Structure 1
Amino acid sequence: MRTNYQAEQAVIGDILLDASMVMPEAMLYLSPRDFSVPEYQNIYETCQGLYRKGRPIDSVTILSAVGPEYQQTLVSAAEATPTISHYQDYIRIVWETAQIRRAATQAAELLETIDTGREIEECRSSAETVLRCFETVRRDNQQLSAAEMLLRFFETRGKPRKYIPTGFTKLDRRAYIDRGDFVVVGGRPSAGKTAITLQIMLHMARDYRVLYFSLETNPDKLADRLIACDTGVNLSRIKTGEMGDEDWTRIVERSDRFRDLKFDVVQAAGWTVDQIRAKSIQEQADIIFVDYLGLIASKGKSLYEQTTNASKALHTMAQDTGTTVIALSQLNRSANSGDPDMTTLKDSGQVEQDADIILMLANPDDPQDKGRRKLMVVKNKEGRRGLINLSFDGDRQRFYEIEEELEEPE
C-alpha cells in the first residue's frame, strides 16, 4: 500500500511545533483518513477536534484525549521533523499520497468486479470511482489582498486577455466565455440549438479539447450535420447519399483540417453528471457541451428536482475542474408566444441562478421568414446583454451574423 511515513510524521511534528500556523492549512486539505498510520489518524483527528473548539493543541492536550500510550509517537514525531518552514509541502505530500492509495484500492475493486463477471454498468461505476480519486477540489486557494489584486490588475491589463471564442464576432464582444463558466443555450424545439452549438464546437475545437455529450441524437446523425456545416455540402444530399463529384471534392479538400479538430462526440443517453464529469476528466476536456440538460439522469422525485440537481452539479463541476460547460435547455410552454427569457427555461428555476451566461435562440416574429433567427443574450454576468440577428442556412447547417442588430439598453 502506497504510504509516506516520513511526510505523515512531519505533519504531526509540525502541528506540535506550531499548531496555530499549521492547523489552518491542514484543516483545508487533510482528513484523518489521509494518514495511513493508525496512530497518526487518531492524533490528527484529536487535533481537529481541539482546533474546532478553540482549545490549545500540544502534547499534553493530545495525550489527555488519546491516552499515554501515544507519548512515544508524539516525541518521535517532534524529534524527527526537520523543519516547520516546509509544513505546506509535507501536507501536500500526505494529501497526494492518499489520493494514489485510494485509487489503488478502488482499482483493485474494479479488477475484482471485472473478474467476477459483473454487469457492465457496475464495472463502469467502479471505473468512475477510480477516476474520482484523482479529482481535486481547487487547491490553489485564490486568496488575494487588496494590494495583490491591484498589482495583478496592473500586470495583466497591459496584455489582451484571451477568452474562448464562439466564431460569432458580435457574440464574442458581449459574452466573455472563460474557463470554468457555465453557459446555457435555450430555445424551443427546432429553433436550432443543436445546430448552433455544433457550429460553435467546430470553432472551439481548433484550439481546445472539446467533448459533445449527446443525450438524444445518435452520433452518426450529428456527423452528417457536422460535415455539412464544415464543408458546405448540402445536408439533404449527404443524408440521401446523392453527393456528386463536386461534393466529394469539397469533403476531401477539408478532410485534413476536419481530422485535426480536437473534439469527440459522446453518446451519453441516460448518463448522470458524475459520468459526464468522469469522462471529461479522463479525456482532459477544456470544454464540454451537454445536449441537453433535461435528459441528464439525476436524483429527485420530480422532473423539477432532477433538473435542479443536474444544474447544480454541472455548475459545481465547472467551478471545481475549470471546465467550461455549455448545456442546452428546452423552454416551458409559456415561451410559445413572444421572445423567451431566462424565466422560460424548462423544469427548474435553478438553471437561471447557476448559469454565468444564458443565450436564447428564437425564430423570427414573421413565420414566413424561416431563414432568420434571433440570438438573445439574456443573462451575462460579466458582459452586455443584447440581441444578435442571424440567418440560418438549413441546407448547410450554418448560422451567419446579419449586419443590422438591435441593442438592449443598459
Structure 2
Amino acid sequence: MKLSAPIYHLKRQARLLSRQAGIPLHQALDRVAAQQGFTSWSLLAAKLSEAAPAGRLFEQLRPGDLVLVGARPGHGKTLMSLELAVEAMKSGHRSVFFTLEYTQRDVLDRFRAIGVEPARFDQLFEFDTSDAISADYIVRILRSAPRGTLAVIDYLQLLDQRRENPGLMEQVCTLKAFARDSGVILVFISQIDRSYNPETKPVPDIGDIRLPNPLDLSLFDKTCFLNKGEIRFQAA
C-alpha cells in the first residue's frame, strides 16, 4: 500500500487538524484517510496492519522479557507499544498500560489511530495513571497477573522522578527479577537523547537512550528503535 507520507506523519497531520478545526481526533483521522483514498481511518489502518511489524515483533517476545522501545517525539514509540499490547490481547493475554504522561483519553485516541476499537478488548486491557507508578507499584499491581501478560511502562525516564522512589537502576533491576519470576513481559517506552543526529544515523540505537540517571542497558532483552517510519528490532 502506497501512502503519500509515512503513517506517523499522517497521524501528526490528523492531530494538527483536530486542534485547528476543533474536531475530535477520530474525525480528523477519517479526513486524512479520505485524502489517501480510504473511506475511514479504520480501513486505512486495517490495510496497513496487514504489513505492520508489531505482529512480527510480538512473535519474537518471550515471557519474562524486558523490551525497550525508543524514538524521538512523534515517531511512533507509543503507538508501537500499544500495537504490541494489542497483539498480546489478540493472543488472549492481558495488557496493562502504566503512564505518568498520558490521560486515558489520550490512550483511547491512540488506539483508534492504529485502527483498534478499545471496547473490543474491554476485559483484557487495563489503564493505570496513578502518580505512584514505580517499580514497587507495578509489581504490586501485576503480582497476580497471568504469565504472558504484557505491560507497557510510559516512560522509562519518569520512574525515578519522585525523590522518595529508588534510583532508576534499582527499579529496573526489581522489575527484571519480577518479570523473570512471573513471566510478565514489560515494555518500556524511552526517550532518545537530544544529541542523536538522524543525518548521520538513520535510526537511533541503544547508545542514544537518554539517561539522566545511571542505568545498565544490558538489563533489557529486546530493543526496538524507530525513526521516520523505519524500525530496527534487536535481541540482546
Residue 260 of structure 1: how far off its partner (Å) = 5.0
- Given the superposition, is the C-alpha separation of residues 311 and 264 from structure 1 closer, same or farther in structure 2, using an over 3 Å criterion? same
Cα distance in 2 for residues equivalent to 1:228 and 1:319 = 32
1:265 aligns with 2:127: yes
Residue 320 of structure 1: how far off its partner (Å) = 2.4
Tell me, yes or no, if the aligned pair for 1:289 and 1:326 is still in contact at 8 Å.
yes
Cα distance in 2 for residues equivalent to 1:168 and 1:222 = 17
Amino acid at match of 2:208: T
Amino acid at match of 1:226: F
Query: Which entry has the higher C-alpha Rg, 1 or 2?
Result: 1
1:362 aligns with 2:218: no
1:179 aligns with 2:44: no
Counterpart in 2 of 1:220?
105
Cα distance in 1 for residues equivalent to 2:95 and 2:55 = 20
Tell me, yes or no, if the aligned pair for 2:108 and 2:118 is still in contact at 8 Å.
no
Q: Of 290, 296, 299, which aligns to 2:153?
A: 290
- Given the superposition, is the C-alpha separation of residues 223 and 260 from structure 1 closer, same or farther in structure 2, using an over 3 Å criterion? closer
1:344-355 aligned at under 5 Å gives the runs 344-347=208-211, 350-355=215-220
Residue 277 of structure 1: how far off its partner (Å) = 0.7
Q: Of 218, 231, 234, which aligns to 1:375?
A: 231
Amino acid at match of 2:64: G
- Given the superposition, is the C-alpha separation of residues 259 and 343 from structure 1 closer, same or farther in structure 2, using an over 3 Å criterion? closer
- Given the superposition, is the C-alpha separation of residues 351 and 327 from structure 1 closer, same or farther in structure 2, using an over 3 Å criterion? farther
Cα distance in 2 for residues equivalent to 1:255 and 1:376 = 27
- Given the superposition, is the C-alpha separation of residues 313 and 214 from structure 1 closer, same or farther in structure 2, using an over 3 Å criterion? same
Counterpart in 2 of 1:210?
95
- Given the superposition, is the C-alpha separation of residues 308 and 209 from structure 1 closer, same or farther in structure 2, using an over 3 Å criterion? same
User: What is the number of residues matched between the two proteins?
Assistant: 179
Cα distance in 2 for residues equivalent to 1:170 and 1:322 = 20
Q: Of 329, 332, 339, which aligns to 2:193?
A: 332
Amino acid at match of 2:152: F
Which sections of structure 2, spanning at least 5 residues, go unmatched?
A: 1-51
Amino acid at match of 2:81: T
Tell me, yes or no, if the aligned pair for 2:72 and 2:227 is still in contact at 8 Å.
yes
Amino acid at match of 1:353: S
Cα distance in 1 for residues equivalent to 2:109 and 2:169 = 33
Residue 197 of structure 1: how far off its partner (Å) = 1.1
The normalised TM-score by structure 2 is: 0.66
Secondary structure, counterpart of 1:268 in structure 2? coil
Tell me, yes or no, if the aligned pair for 1:332 and 1:344 is still in contact at 8 Å.
yes
Cα distance in 1 for residues equivalent to 2:87 and 2:167 = 32
Cα distance in 2 for residues equivalent to 1:272 and 1:328 = 14
Identify the structure with the greater helix proportion. Answer: 1
- Given the superposition, is the C-alpha separation of residues 194 and 295 from structure 1 closer, same or farther in structure 2, using an over 3 Å criterion? same
Residue 323 of structure 1: how far off its partner (Å) = 1.1
1:273-312 aligned at under 5 Å gives the runs 273-284=135-146, 286-297=149-160, 306-312=167-173
Tell me, yes or no, if the aligned pair for 1:271 and 1:297 is still in contact at 8 Å.
no
Counterpart in 1 of 2:21?
none
Tell me, yes or no, if the aligned pair for 1:167 and 1:203 is still in contact at 8 Å.
no
Residue 255 of structure 1: how far off its partner (Å) = 7.5
Amino acid at match of 2:57: L
What CA deviation, in whole Å up to 9, does each residue of 1:195-238 have, x standing for no partner? 1111221221121011111111011221122134235xxxxxxx
Amino acid at match of 2:94: R
Cα distance in 2 for residues equivalent to 1:227 and 1:261 = 17
Amino acid at match of 2:218: Q
- Given the superposition, is the C-alpha separation of residues 306 and 195 from structure 1 closer, same or farther in structure 2, using an over 3 Å criterion? same
Cα distance in 2 for residues equivalent to 1:350 and 1:340 = 18
1:398-409 aligned at under 5 Å gives the runs none
Cα distance in 2 for residues equivalent to 1:226 and 1:263 = 11
Cα distance in 2 for residues equivalent to 1:321 and 1:216 = 26
- Given the superposition, is the C-alpha separation of residues 268 and 361 from structure 1 closer, same or farther in structure 2, using an over 3 Å criterion? farther
Tell me, yes or no, if the aligned pair for 2:101 and 2:155 is still in contact at 8 Å.
yes
Counterpart in 2 of 1:343?
207
Cα distance in 1 for residues equivalent to 2:122 and 2:60 = 26
Secondary structure, counterpart of 2:153 in structure 1? strand
Amino acid at match of 1:380: A
Cα distance in 1 for residues equivalent to 2:68 and 2:84 = 13
Residue 375 of structure 1: how far off its partner (Å) = 0.8
Amino acid at match of 1:177: L
Percent identical = 22
Cα distance in 1 for residues equivalent to 2:89 and 2:185 = 13
Residue 306 of structure 1: how far off its partner (Å) = 2.7
- Given the superposition, is the C-alpha separation of residues 351 and 191 from structure 1 closer, same or farther in structure 2, using an over 3 Å criterion? farther
